[in-house]
Amino acid sequence: MFLKNKNIFLLIPILFLNFLFLASFGLLFIESFNSDINIYVDIVKSEVFYDSLFYGLKVAFSTIVYALLFYFILYYLLFLLKFKYSQDIKKFFFFLSIPLLIPYSFCALLLFMLFFPVGAYRDFFPFLVGTSTAVIIAYVYKTISFFLLVSFPNLLKISNDEINLHKIYSSNSFYFFWNILVRRNLKTLFVAIFVVFSYILNGYEIPSILGSSIDKMPALYVSELLGEFGVNSLNIAYATSFVYFAVTLCCIPIFFVCYIVTKKVLF
Amino acid sequence: MAIAINLFPLAYMLFTQFGSIDMVKLFVATRNSLILAVVSVVLSFLFALPSAYVFVSQKSYYRYLVIIFVFFISIMPPFLISILFTNLFYFLGIKNGFLVLSFTHMLLIFPYSLALMILGFSYVPQSATYSSKLYASNFFTGFMMFYFPFMKNIFLVVAILGITISMSQYIVTLMLGTASFTTLMVQIIPYLKSADLQSANSYGIVFIVNSIFAIYILYRVNNVISKNK
């Protein structure tokens, strides 16, 4: 039986959401084809489309690389606290979750108000203005916390017996960290990386506050298309957003292959 | 004085840059942001709580339904979600901007609230689960008596996260909202684009103060509930 007891009514909310989601997706897909199939051909041939896509990919990958770097350092420090000094790391959970509780727009506005042309510390970091650096900093700040939180349960799960066993047979803490803890986290981490990648690739608020006016992230490009007044502009915007989403979905197999290769090469 | 300005630039801006903006517009935008955030968080609780409970208590194929849905929602860009639902609500003839906005914001909060509530339900000890099955007549009573004491901190985190996500949405609110219903983010971005940085700063300060205020109120509410319990 699908559900064993009378809790079947609890399924109604999620079924309702699934239905609405699928209905809206199907409706939009049909409507984007209604006007002209050549829209998709034009989009794929457009140079601006590729420019914004590559810019989005550049920002997304840079953010992931920097965030992973900081994540490994912080995660290793947390691990050392537990492994070497037997500290209760549960108390760090709240501090780790603080950046996640602060909105993206909050970070972006704070950076903007402090370091951008009318900001109080505008002379300190002039390189932030008009480049992708500020966008990457704002994203990295939130992403590190997200990576740490998704891999936090695995750190908590390590038992004292396991630690003692490794202390007896191998004195190297890094060996334990890399070969056991990181290996256990690998799957979760790749899912988290993909979620972050898709979020950044399609993010709107931070690039619109901190980004430059020349290089445009995909979401900014689509919003510009939505703002244009033309016969087909709305359909073009719909179709472009579909193509970007399709690109994101196409990245799932790539990430999966990367996961398998990483697992085979590193471990 | 100069040292104080350099140390507390936001406080300095708060006092000096407020004269340039329309206070009525600012008040309306702040009120709308807060109401919308609270309603979408309440809606996300209503949708996520039963789903999380079934996810944890029932080991069935239903889990895959939840996982696939949440995965799609979390990787889907907000602007695409707003396009999807603009189209759907237009097709269904629903023209209530606030209802549409609250529902879409709820959808953006849903993956996070569901994940956190699943985490919360899995922390509830087995004894409480058995007690709720034995002594509670229905899901609601059982939940309030046996689950709520263990999950109130998770609810706090979900509420804070939900409010911050809802308040920071721009493109969704712009596309689904009406001209009379604007939020703080909808006011800020056009100022940034038109290079009116003073006004953008003023709205930005209100946005930041608002977020901190909402988080503080939620902490106070959580403390009061904890003491009463």
Provide ipTM, 2 decimals.
0.73
Contact predicate A99/A142, CB 8 Å: yes
Measured distance CA(A51)–CA(B14) in Å, rounded: 39
Residue A3 in this model has a pLDDT that exceeds 60: no
Q: How confident is the model at residue B40 (pLDDT cuts 50, 70, 90)?
A: very high
Euclidean distance between CA atoms A239 and A217, whole angstroms: 16
Task: Report chain A's mean pLDDT, rounded to a whole number.
Answer: 80
Minimal-distance CA residue of chain B relative to A93 = B157
Residue A32 resides in a domain: no
Domain count for chain A: 1
DSSP code string of B96-135: -HHHHHHHHHHHHHHHHHHHHHHHHHHHS-HHHHHHHHHH
Chain B contact for A227 (CB, 8 A cutoff): no
Residue A31 placed within a domain: no
How many CB atoms are located within 10 Å of the residue A183 CB? 14
B145-156 residue pLDDT tens: 777 777 777 788
A136: DSSP letter: H
Phi-psi region at B8: left, alpha or beta (left = phi > 0; alpha = psi -120 to 50): beta
pLDDT on residue A2: 40
> What gap in Å lies between CA A150 and CA A191, rounded to an integer?
10
Among residues A145, A137, A117, A147, the alpha carbon closest in space to that of A207 is found at A137
In chain A, which residue's Cα lies nearest the Cα of B208?
A106
Best probe of the A interface among B171, B193, B213, by most A CBs < 10 A, is B171
Residue A1's pLDDT is 36
Q: Look at residue A8 and tell me if it is in a domain.
A: no
Condensed to tens digits (0 to 9), the pLDDT of residues A126-165 reads 666 667 888 888 889 888 888 888 888 788 778 778 888 8
CA torsion sign, B173 to B179 to B182 to B188?
positive
Confidence at A63, pLDDT banded by 50, 70, 90: very high
**A positions 117-176 inside 8 Å of B (CB):** 117-121
- Say whether pLDDT at A4 is over 60: no
**Domains contained in chain B, CATH given:** 25-228 (1.10.3720.10)
A212 and chain B in contact, CB less than 8 A? no
- Inter-residue contact B135 to B127 (CB < 8 Å): no
Alpha carbon distance B86, B78 (integer Å): 12
What pLDDT does B165 receive?
A: 84
What mean pLDDT is predicted for residues A34-41?
A: 73
Best residue in A204, A223, A244 for a mutation probing chain B (most B CBs within 10 Å): A204
Partner residue facing A103 (CB), from B10, B12, B168:
B168
Chain A interface test: which of B54, B89, B113, B212 (most A C-beta within 10 Å): B54
Are A27 and B87 within 8 A, CB to CB?
A: yes
Q: Domain containing A47 — which CATH number?
A: 1.10.3720.10
Chain A environment of B173 (Cβ under 8 Å): none
Q: What is the pLDDT of residue B16?
A: 60
The domain in which residue A142 lies consists of 39-266
pLDDT at B39 over 90: yes
- Which CA distances in Å does A237 have to A223, B87, B90, B186? 8, 13, 17, 20
Whether A145 maps to a domain, the answer reads yes
pLDDT of A159-209, one tens digit each? 778 888 887 877 678 888 888 888 888 888 888 898 888 888 888 878 887
Beta-carbon count within 10 A of A258 CB: 14
> In this predicted structure, what is the pLDDT of residue A209?
79
**Under a CB-based contact definition with an 8 Å cutoff, are residues A138 and A66 in contact?**
no
The answer to whether residue A122 is domain-embedded is yes
Q: Is residue A22 part of a domain?
A: no
Q: Does A195 lie at the interface with B, CB-CB under 8 angstroms?
A: yes
Asked if B107's CB is within 8 angstroms of A17's CB, the reply is yes
Q: Is residue A156 part of a domain?
A: yes
Tell whether A181 is covered by a domain: yes
Q: Are A52 and A217 in contact (CB under 8 A)?
A: yes
In whole angstroms, give the CA distance from residue A116 to residue A120.
8
Nearest-CB residue to A17 (from B69, B160, B204): B69
Residue of A23, A237, A244 lying closest to B88 (CB–CB): A23
pLDDT in tens, A48-62: 888 888 999 999 999
Within an 8 Å CB–CB cutoff, is residue A114 touching chain B? yes
